[in-house]
């Protein structure tokens, strides 16, 4: 019986637009943004930021070096926000309904730039931050590991004291789903951009 639901953030709760993000970083001056940015798993300084190995300010400085000019925190943040399209309020309302019957958690590969937006009233036109939609956020840069590393799953399981077999893990990344299954979670892999609410209702029945 499912008692807990764990959502990925980008690609599930909010749609991801990698091409838009690539263009945003190119505008900053990062000519090879297309080879550096990935929908699911970053590399180089982008990965180090998401693993918490670089602070936001250290990342800004190193990105500035790659771009050949100094960048502001706001410029850097806006480039990261290029990944996201407008937030779908129907999904957020659905998640609030789920919270009446289930514990809801978010497990995300992300960084302080994205979360400074998501965990603020600017997140959506409802003026409610992301943390209002879940019991707790588990963020890669705070935990020190990114999915699909088992360590980030283990951290969450131990911290919120859940049983994987009683937990539905929802993620659009195939490698993340594969690890989740291996760790004993029930899984659901919607496509990025999909309205998954009906499918999820069926799964939870």
> Which residues are catalytic, by number?
8
Q: Long-range contact list for 135-139, CB < 8 A, 24+ apart? A: 135/99, 135/103, 135/104, 135/105, 135/160, 136/105, 136/106, 136/160, 137/105, 137/106, 137/108, 138/105, 138/106, 138/107, 138/108, 139/108, 139/110, 139/115
What φ, ψ does residue 195 adopt, rounded to 5°?
Answer: -90, 100
For residue 156 the two structure tokens come to 């969450």
Q: Read off φ and ψ for residue 50, nearest 5 degrees.
A: -70, -20
**Nearest Cα to Cα of residue 80 among 170, 125, 16:** 16
């Amino acid at each position: 019986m499912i008692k807990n639901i764990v959502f990925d953030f980008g690609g599930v709760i909010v749609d991801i637009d990698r091409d838009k993000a690539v263009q945003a970083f190119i505008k900053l001056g990062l000519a090879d943004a297309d080879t550096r940015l990935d929908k699911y798993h970053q590399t180089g300084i982008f990965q180090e930021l998401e693993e918490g190995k670089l602070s936001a300010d250290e990342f800004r400085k190193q990105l500035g070096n790659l771009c050949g000019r100094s960048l502001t925190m706001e410029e850097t943040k806006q480039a990261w926000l290029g990944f996201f399209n407008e937030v779908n309020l129907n999904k957020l309302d659905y998640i609030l309904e789920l919270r009446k019957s289930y514990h809801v958690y978010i497990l995300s590969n992300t960084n302080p730039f994205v979360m400074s937006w998501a965990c603020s009233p600017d997140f959506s036109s409802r003026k409610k931050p992301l943390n209002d939609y879940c019991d707790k956020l588990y963020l890669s840069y705070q935990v020190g590991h990114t999915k699909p590393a088992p360590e980030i799953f283990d951290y969450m399981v131990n911290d919120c004291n859940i049983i994987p077999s009683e937990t539905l893990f929802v993620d659009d990344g195939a490698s993340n789903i594969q690890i989740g299954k291996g760790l004993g979670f029930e899984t659901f892999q919607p496509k990025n951009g999909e309205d998954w609410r009906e499918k999820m209702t069926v799964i939870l029945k």
